[in-house]
Amino acid sequence: MNIEQVKIRQLKMRMKSPFKTSFGSVQDKQFLILEARDRDGLTGYGEGVAFEVPWYTEETMKTSWHVLEDFLLPLIMGKEIHHPDMVSEIFSSIRRNNMAKATLETAIWDLYAKKQSIPLATALGGQREKVAVGVSIGIQPTHQQLYQKIEDALEAGYQRIKVKIKPGEDIALLNAIRNEYPDVPLMADANSCYTLNDLALLQELDQYGLLMIEQPLGANDIVQHAKLQSQLKTPICLDESITSYEDAEAAIDLGSCKVMNIKYARVGGLTEAKRIHDLCAKHEMEVWCGGMLEAGIGRAHAIALSTLANFTLPGDTAGSTHYWKEDIITPEITVKNGYISISKEPGIGYEINHSAIERYTVKEKVYRANR
């Protein structure tokens, strides 16, 4: 592969309803799409998942664009790239900025798979023909509205329900859900809103039979989670804290979690996500694929990743209609009986809905390799 042209677009897409967490709310989602074309005229696509506000990680859509334009594209364009695994090595001189890196790295994985005429899932070493899917439900204005969302999700076949909790909306909320749905596979995501001072409260959550509690403590913490896990029955799942293979290694060594949420964008791309997956498999730690409220291109990458053997738990890879009136890929991603079937088409396995992309684009810029 030799990338001769890259187009970065900023898209603005309205979600069907706002997605609210302990740190903020999003409805008009703005994000990047990157198209990387190589000398043979084939194009790979990546999605930049950083939000407009740095509340999940330190990156934003704008920092991603800046880092791509000024640092990452110059390292890649016009260079011979034999395999996408080379990309993370090439990027190693640039610290962190993982979501920016993943935007370009995933486009190169898509391009690579298209060049080989194989599905991206196969290129990554995935073997599943379908992947199990759960759903993540943001904080709702009332319990009734939350129940309605849970009903809809169960009806659509989703295999587990994830709800968001925060101080003041935790015990009472889970209690209410468990009264209505005693047996539903349920987990709670705290997005780092507790500290070890909340130990007693977190221990109270043990009674609700949660599959896991996601990221209860600090977004960068690995040490305190180990202390907490040793005093909780509920398995801890780390999300924000795991930004690299080394973080995953430390969390396994210290016993900071029993489950890991792998988001390829949070760790800098599919190659690093695969390494973390393999490490977890070696240590018999189950993993699942997290989501970033992506549109179809980012979702397709996450779904391909989820075909690896140790993604044994349902991921946050809800189908297109869960968030969007119209997705930017065709066909749209559909969930049947709790599973998404893996496309046999080359690359991400979905066509790009160019007319939708054009309509949602608010800004774009083209970059060409210097010859």
Closest separation in Å from C-beta 292 to ligand 164: 5
Q: What span, in angstroms and rounded, lies between the C-alpha atoms of 141 and 26?
A: 14
DSSP-assigned letters across all residues of 166-202: BTTBSHHHHHHHHHH-TTS-EEEE-TT---GGGHHHH
12 to 41, contacts with ligand 164 by CB under 6 A?
Answer: 21
Closest separation in Å from C-beta 324 to ligand 164: 11
Catalytic residue among 263, 274, 344, 363: 263
197 to 256, contacts with ligand 164 by CB under 6 A?
Answer: 239
Q: Which residue carries 């896990």 as its tokens?
A: 229
The yes-or-no answer on residue 130 being catalytic is no
Q: Is 239 annotated as a binding residue?
A: yes
Among 73, 187, 293, 356, binds ligand 164 (CB under 6 A): 293
Kindly state whether residue 85 participates in binding Mg ion, applying the rule CB under 5 A.
Answer: no
Which 8-state DSSP code applies to residue 92?
Answer: G
Report the residue number, 77 or 156, with the smaller CB distance to ligand 164. 156
Kindly state whether residue 124 participates in binding ligand 164, applying the rule CB under 6 A.
Answer: no
Report the residue number, 77 or 295, with the smaller CB distance to ligand 164. 295
Omega within 30 of 0 (cis) for the link into 182: no
- Residues near 365 by beta carbon (within 8 Å), at least 6 away in sequence: 7, 8, 69
Q: Is 247 annotated as a binding residue?
A: no
Q: Is 189 annotated as a binding residue?
A: yes
Helix, strand, coil fractions of the chain, as percent rounded to 5: 35, 25, 40
Under 8 Å between Cβ of 367 and 78? no
Closest separation in Å from C-beta 53 to ligand 164: 11
Q: Which one, of 239, 203, 247, lies nearest residue 218 by Cα?
A: 239
Kindly state whether residue 239 participates in binding Mg ion, applying the rule CB under 5 A.
Answer: yes
21 binds, among Mg ion, ligand 164, none (CB under 5 to 8 A by kind): ligand 164
276 binds, among Mg ion, ligand 164, none (CB under 5 to 8 A by kind): none
Kindly state whether residue 319 participates in binding ligand 164, applying the rule CB under 6 A.
Answer: no
Report the residue number, 239 or 294, with the smaller CB distance to Mg ion. 239
Closest separation in Å from C-beta 138 to ligand 164: 7
Task: List helix spans (H) across the chain.
Answer: 61-67, 73-76, 85-90, 98-116, 120-124, 143-155, 171-180, 199-204, 223-229, 245-254, 270-282, 296-305, 320-323, 354-360
Q: Which two tokens stand for residue 312?
A: 């044994």
Under 8 Å between Cβ of 82 and 23? no
CA 240 from chain centre, in angstroms, equals: 11
Closest separation in Å from C-beta 307 to Mg ion: 21
Among 13, 174, 265, 318, binds ligand 164 (CB under 6 A): 318
Kindly state whether residue 136 participates in binding ligand 164, applying the rule CB under 6 A.
Answer: yes
Under 8 Å between Cβ of 185 and 174? no
Report the residue number, 15 or 219, with the smaller CB distance to Mg ion. 219
Among 287, 292, 308, 356, binds ligand 164 (CB under 6 A): 292
- Residue 81 CB coordination number (10 Å): 17
The yes-or-no answer on residue 7 being catalytic is no
Among 110, 189, 221, 272, binds Mg ion (CB under 5 A): 189
CA 146 from chain centre, in angstroms, equals: 23
Catalytic residue among 29, 164, 166, 274: 164
Q: Which residues bind Mg ion (CB under 5 A)?
A: 189, 214, 239
Judged by the rule CB under 6 A, the positions of this chain that interact with ligand 164 are: 21, 56, 136, 189, 191, 239, 290-293, 316, 318
Binding residues: 189, 214, 239
- Residues that are catalytic: 164, 263
Binding residues for Mg(2+): 189, 214, 239
